Amino acid sequence: MSSPNHLRAWREFRRMTQEKLAETIGTRGSVISLLESGDRRLSDKWLRRLAPVLGTTPGHLLDYDPETLPTDLLDIWASIPDDRKAQAMEVLNTFRKIA
């Protein structure tokens, strides 16, 4: 069995069934079930396919339950076009406390 992941929590958070998620990324619901249970390894390849559809990052699928994160910020970040994310990050960095 693989290490635990939060794929199921993210899928449910995005109100998707296993079948819908599978259809979106071009696989079967049974594969999503195996990935969620850890019976099939959630490889880098799977993480890169699943994360964008679930509006998160590959690392978040492994490390964070969406219910424990400030999801409004994640939703905003996910809606920023890729070519503008560097600019958005610069703006956000201006709010960091300087030590």
Q: What is the pLDDT at residue 1?
A: 45
Consecutive 10-residue runs of the chain (99 residues): their mean pLDDT?
79 95 97 95 95 90 87 80 90 79
Q: What is the pLDDT at residue 25?
A: 97
Q: What is the pLDDT at residue 49?
A: 96
Q: Would the pTM of this model clear 0.75, i.e. be above it?
A: no
Q: What is the pLDDT at residue 56?
A: 87
| CATH at residue 56 | 1.10.260.40
Could you tell me if residue 14 is inside a domain? yes
Q: 81: domain range?
A: 7-93
Could you tell me if residue 2 is inside a domain? no
Q: Which two tokens stand for residue 39?
A: 């019976």
Angle between helices 18-25 and 44-53 (to 10 degrees): 110
Half-sphere exposure of residue 32: CA atoms within 13 angstroms, side-chain side: 24
Cα 94 to Cα 28: distance, rounded to the nearest angstrom: 44
